[in-house]
Amino acid sequence: MRASQDNAVVLHVLLVRYTGRPEDADPHVAGHVAFLERHHAGGTFLLSGQTVPASVGGVILATGSRERIEQVAAGDPFVTAGVATYEIVTVTPGRFHEDLADLLTVAEAGAEPFRVRANEPVPVRNTYQSWFPCVTPVAA
């Protein structure tokens, strides 16, 4: 599916890279996890996970203005402790699978906003349930 520039959501791929040994980040993991949960709950982070191999760092998929994402990344406890850096790659989706249309396009006026809450199901179209049975639609 081709995306319209008028209603495409701007996405940011955040590449989190350790500045030294991965174990140097260990004392900051709890703060980093709380940071991830806070920004998932606020709807800024759509996906996060460790790279394979884990020694490289992590990847986060985020939405919002580039300026806002840069501010958020600067507040990561890994960054403030100097154990990781972020590289931010901004993407305006040009094409995507039709099942992602609700996620990757701006809702029409009056529509319910997209929200993701930590430890709650992600609001998605029912078609995802065949792919991801653990994901269920929720009311905003």
Q: Which domains does the chain have, with CATH numbers?
A: 11-91 (3.30.70.1060)
> What token pair was written down for 134?
């653990």
The C-alpha atoms of residue 44 and residue 61 are separated, in whole angstroms, by 9
- What pLDDT is attached to residue 102? 74
Tell me what the mean pLDDT of segment 25-48 comes to.
95
DSSP string, 6-72: TTBPPEEEEEEEESS-GGGGGGGHHHHHHHHHHHHHTTSEEEEEE-SSTTSEEEEEEES-HHHHHHH
pLDDT above 70 for 120: no
- What pLDDT is attached to residue 7? 55
Whole-prediction pTM: 0.71
What number of CA atoms fall less than 13 Å from residue 14's CA on the CB side? 29
Length of the chain: 140
Tell me what the mean pLDDT of segment 41-51 comes to.
93
Tell me what the mean pLDDT of segment 1-29 comes to.
83
